[in-house]
Structure 1
Amino acid sequence: MDVWTLLRTTLRRWYVFVPVLVVALALGYTAARDLPPVYVTQSSAILTGPALIPGDEEGEIDEINPFLSLGGSLTTTTAAMVVLMDSEPTRYELDEAGLETEYEVDRVDAVLYFDVEGLDEVAVTETANELVRIADVKLAELQEAADSDPDTRIQVVPLTSPQVALEGSTGGVQLIAVAGVVGLVLGSGLAVALDGFLTWRRRRAEEATLASESVSAVGWSPADERDPVEGDPVEGGQVEGGQVEGGQVGGDVVELPEAPTWAAAEEPRDEDAPATEPDATERARHVAPESPEATDATHDQADAEPSEHDHLASSGRRTTEHG
């Protein structure tokens, strides 16, 4: 995703991005307001050349203005002092003295600047002044190690010595800025996530609609797949007695086998006769149809046994003959 797409998506879902950003800024402002004050101060020093230089004659020493020798080697020496004062041994020395170790060292030509910050106002002020003194001591040690004449050594002269430290506001501003960046990233991420989810759901709905339209165009429906044997309607046909006449399912003709000839037809029931509970034999016949052989045997037995009507008719004839 490129920057332009991300920007458009975020603006489209602004109702997600804006509240998250506002909440993040509010939390950052609340936290910054509760922060303890941070004190800052600055001290500066300048490197100067020697006030005495060798004269033209042997053993002669001339006095000069040290500021006339600014530039050249002093600028190079100042750059070396920045590295020396910003080192870990110097910070460790300050920490051993109970002073602040949070400071920055900068330079402009032959001028050194020490920016100190901390939670203790007194410690911040003392640290700024101590850095100028330490710089002069370390520079003297460097020149002594080079066996230079003490009268020709470069010195560190204080320019500004702070007496009080000011309450800084950079900590709170930085905290609010960090909260704003976090809210910006989080709001953009949530906006993009919501946009992706809504796009996916809309695509699913469109696919479902297209599928439904395709099914309607083909003419298929779940009712077309019902079993025609159970009497369910079949498209294009009619169900009668468990058979389908001219029925079609999905465009195919459905042909079912005819009912077996040995299946017993159900006898008509007298509407006025009281309803009786079928006996076990009747229930068994409904559960499992009899075989053709059993049906023929039943018919033969019925033909062999005289019915009650035949007995009555025979008795009547005998009574008439005797009379």
Structure 2
Amino acid sequence: MDFWDLTKLMIRRWYVSVTLLLVTIAATGYAATEIKPDYAITSYVQLIPPTVASDPNKVISVQNPWLALGLSSLSNAATVATQDQTFLDALKKKDETASFEITISDKNPVAIIAVVAPTLEEAQSATTEVTTQYEKSVDSLQKQYNVKKADMITAYRLDKGENLKRPGGKVKRAVVVIFAIGILLTGGITILVDTLLRRRKRRKGGDAGAAPEMPPGSAAIPLNGTFPSVPQINRPSVNGDADKTKPLGQYARGGAQQQNGRDPGAETIVIPSMPRARQGGERGNDRGRRT
């Protein structure tokens, strides 16, 4: 069944397909109005190296191994530390439905923290928790090397939590899924109903055209007292003429009924002879005569 056949079937069973389509449209509209988009807040955290002396003649020795590796290395390490399972469990207990993602800029050591939550309060709370944990991770990674405070790399948040968006991707996905499921159910249920109706119609037609059942022990008796005629079987005669034998049905009625005033038992059935056997006998006689 192709798309055109399905369309014709849905038109023929319009009372089923139209009802299901209306239900699908109603469910899709309800999902579009009731499902609310999430709140997304994006934060930016910049890593700042330690300050140097304003006097170029003054030599200052900075002892921080992360400076030798680069600020990007410290930013990546802080990202991994922020995604620790202990912190994730604590965040889940406080903001159950919030989720976050940390990405590092390629050009500058800036951590981009994106938080998504169903409510504005959860989004703001989760953003504060994640940025604070990221800053703590930057400090702890340097303190384990006994870096002095003057030599430490500091994390500075560039935004004020005002980068708020409400993306409608979740609503669009829900609407598309509900509408697709409704269309599939409409086609499937319409085909099922059509199959059941055809089967019931075929069953009713078969019951109406069937012959009535006879009770056990009964026999069929013709109303006019005669039996249907038996087709005649033509047999060629011995002499090859066009004479026909009597119908076999005249001798199968038990001798109780006569045909044309004669007794059926007095009739003679003529069996044609075998031509080959006759020729063989004649050849045998000829051989006997020759001998």
Q: State the TM bucket, normalised to the shorter chain.
A: 0.5 to 0.7
Amino acid across the alignment from 1:112: I
Q: Partner residue of 1:46?
A: 45
Cα distance in 2, alignment partners of residues 194 and 45 from structure 1: 58
Distance 1:103 1:190, change over 3 A: same
Q: Is 1:116 equivalent to 2:116 in the alignment?
A: yes
Q: Deviations over 1:240-290 (max 9, x none)?
A: xxxxx9475xxxx77122249xxxxxxxxxxxxxxxxxxxxxxxxxxxxxx
Q: Offset of 1:47 from its aligned partner? A: 3.7
Within 2, Cα distance between the matches of 1:87 and 1:254?
106
Cross-structure match for 2:255: 258
Shift of 1:7: 4.1
Distance 1:22 1:113, change over 3 A: farther
Q: Is the 8 A contact 1:99 1:123 kept in 2?
A: yes
Give the Å deviation of 1:173. 3.4
2:232 aligned with 1:235:
no
Q: Identity of counterpart residues, as a percentage?
A: 16
1:193-227 deviation per Cα after TM superposition (whole angstroms, max 9, x unaligned): 567x39x86xx89xx9xxx9xxxxxxxxxxxx967
Report how far residue 177 of structure 1 moved. 2.3
Q: 47-56 or 169-178, which moves further after superposition? A: 47-56
Contact 1:41–1:116 under 8 Å retained in 2: yes
Cα distance in 2 for partners of 1:49, 1:38 equals 36
- Change in Cα spacing, 1:101 to 1:183, as seen in structure 2 (3 Å) is closer
SS in 1 for 2:39: strand
Q: Please name the residue that 1:132 is paired with.
A: 131
Q: Which residue of 2 aligns with 1:277?
A: none
Could you say which residue in structure 2 is the equivalent of 1:141?
Answer: 140
1:289 alignment partner in structure 2: none
Residue 161 of structure 2: aligned partner: 162
Does the aligned pair in 2 maintain the 1:10–1:17 contact within 8 Å?
A: no
Deviation at 1:40, TM superposition (A): 0.9
Code of the aligned partner of 1:122: E
Is the CA contact 2:50–2:154 (under 8 Å) kept in the aligned structure 1?
A: no
- Retained in 1: the 8 A contact 2:48–2:156? no
Whether the aligned pair in 1 keeps the contact of 2:44 and 2:113 (CA below 8 Å) is yes
Return the letter of the residue paired with 1:94: L
- TM-score, normalization by structure 2: 0.53
Q: 1:226 to 1:180 in 2, by over 3 A?
A: same
Q: Which has the higher contact order (CA 8 A, sep 6+)?
A: 2
1:103 to 2:102 alignment? no
Instruction: Letter of the 1:118 partner, please give it.
Output: P
Amino acid at match of 2:131: V
- 8 Å CA contact 2:25–2:179 kept in 1: the answer is yes
Query: 2:89 is aligned with what amino acid?
Result: Y
> 2:91 is matched with which residue?
94
| Alpha-carbon contact 2:92-2:98 (below 8 Å) kept | no
Mark the structure with the bigger radius of gyration.
1
Cα distance in 2 for partners of 1:180, 1:51 equals: 57
- Give the paired residue count: 212
> Which residue identity lines up with residue 142 of structure 1 in the other structure?
L
Letter in 2 for 1:103: S
Alignment of 1:33-72 (within 5 A): 33-35=33-35, 37=36, 40-52=39-51, 60-61=60-61
TM superposition shift of 1:95: 4.1
Note the 1:195-214 alignment, pairs <5 A: 197=195
Kindly tell me: are residues 59 and 29 of structure 1, through their superposed partners in 2, closer, same or farther at Cα, counting changes over 3 Å? same
CA-to-aligned-CA distance 1:290-309 (integer Å, 9 cap, x gap): xxxxxxxxxxxxxxxxxxxx
* Cα distance in 2 between the residues matched to 1:7 and 1:149: 74
Task: Give the residue type in structure 1 aligned to 2:229.
Answer: E
Structure 2 unaligned segments of length 5 or more: list them: 210-218, 232-245, 258-291
**What residue is the counterpart of 1:20 in the other structure?**
20
Cα contact 1:82–1:106 (8 A) shared by 2:
yes
2:102, 2:116 → 1: CA distance? 12
Indicate conservation of the 8 Å contact 1:132/1:156, yes or no: no
Question: How far apart, in 1, do the equivalents of 2:143 and 2:92 lie?
Answer: 26
Counterpart of 1:296? Answer: none
Higher mean C-alpha deviation, range 176-185 or range 159-168 = 159-168
Deviation at 1:138, TM superposition (A): 1.9
Determine the structure 2 residue equivalent to 1:264: none
> How big is the shift at 1:142?
2.8
